[in-house]
Amino acid sequence: MKEQLLAKFADVFGDTNGVKVFFAPGRVNLIGEHTDYNGGHVFPCALTIGTYGVARKREDRALRFYSMNFENLGVLESSLDDLKPYKEADWTNYPKGVMWAFEEKGMKIPCGMDILLFGNIPNGSGLSSSASVEVLTGFILRDFFGFDVTNQDLALIGQFSENKFNGVNCGIMDQFAIAMGKKDQAIFLDTATLQFEYAPIKLQNAKLVIACSNKKRGLGDSKYNERRSECEEALAELQKVVKIETLGDLDEATFEANKDAIKSEVRQKRAKHAVYENQRTIHAVEALKKQDIKLFGELMNASHISLRDDYEVTGIELDTLVEEAWKVKGVIGSRMTGAGFGGCTVSIVEDDAIESFIEQVGKAYEAKIGYAADFYVVEAGEGPCVLA
């Protein structure tokens, strides 16, 4: 892979003098969806697929970007003196946003760069290709210019750039999981406090299988921000009757006792999901620690039903993938993962059922939806690193 990247860099930018090669993973969230901006818990892991970057410093302030995933766009040029989000800047608004965020936080970038990227995360899949690019960019900036920031800082800077530069009101989970990834471990993160612990993913004789619906979605123009504001309104209504900072502070019983303070049925459903999903995530991690994979799978299934019925972010594509998965013998649990409205599902599948799972679910999905899904058998991987 490294040789291909270097050859392409030389082809695009003339030579490979002074370059370094970097990698940042994608992530999948095993359970705890739409809880991260509601002060709840999440349970993601970094993946072994992600974004590769080849970069070098320039002697001027120019920025030149090239993506092997969007070769038709060619080299997109910008400057450190013009870090603004332009529509025509396309995907480069993500790395530019991180550069802007570093400067906003007092870390001045002394010179421009040539950067080539290649991602083997499906674009728009919900496996956090954008957050992967953000963490990768921050990692490159730290490596090149010696900024005094931790990996956790890189996650927070990535979130800040996505919120303030790209206008997507995302929580911290994606960037945190990518920046803090550890092999064969998932991260049990309290998004209200950023306290976290690693939990080993021991699935006995089973693997994680991701199914990509191939329905593209863009977070900024999805209903993501709408869901977030519905939860904020519900929280404000609940705060009039119960002392809480976030929806994540509630357990199910307290929510049920006070839910009538929420004056809209829709907002009640949104808040119910946030509360119940947070509790499911806490129980799921306890189950995993006890090696109760069956219970973990049941909680995954319940998570999907809540995302479908209460949060209404699934859609026919994700529902078809999950409902077909549930029919396959050897599937321990299956749910949508990511923001929804397209993207991916994650399933725990027994080793000897993986082949039939991919065949059965793939065939049923294509018959119903009209185009194919893609499947990836994945493992939990490390956070960002220098490859050369």
Residues identified as active-site: 174
Q: Which two tokens stand for residue 306?
A: 């809540």
Distance CA(360)–CA(362), nearest Å, equals 5
Q: Is 251 helix (H, G, I), strand (E, B) or coil?
A: coil
**Which residues have a Cβ under 8 Å from the Cβ of 220 and sit 6 or more positions away?**
166, 167, 168
Kind and range of the H or E run holding 130 = helix 129-145
Residue reference for tokens 């999901």: 273
Do residues 113 and 58 lie in contact, with contact meaning Cβ atoms separated by under 8 Å? yes
**Beta-bridge partner residues of 21:** 54
- Give the three-state DSSP class for 103: helix
Work out the number of other CB atoms within 10 angstroms of the CB of residue 369.
16
Tokens at 245, concatenated: 């900072």
Residues 330/297, Cβ–Cβ less than 8 Å = no
Q: What is the DSSP string of 65-85?
A: EEETTSGGG--EEEETT----
Q: Which two tokens stand for residue 61?
A: 């302030």
User: What type of residue sits at position 35?
Assistant: T
Residue 204 identity: Q
Is residue 126 within 8 A of residue 345, CB to CB? The reply is: no
Amino acid at 96: K
> Quick one: which of 205, 196, 167, 181 has its CA closest to 42?
196
CA distances from 244 to 131, 251, 254, 270 (A): 30, 11, 11, 17
- Strands 113-119, 62-67: pairing is parallel
- Give the CA distances from residue 212 to residues 37, 59, 274, 306, in Å, rounded to whole numbers and listed in that order: 24, 42, 24, 20
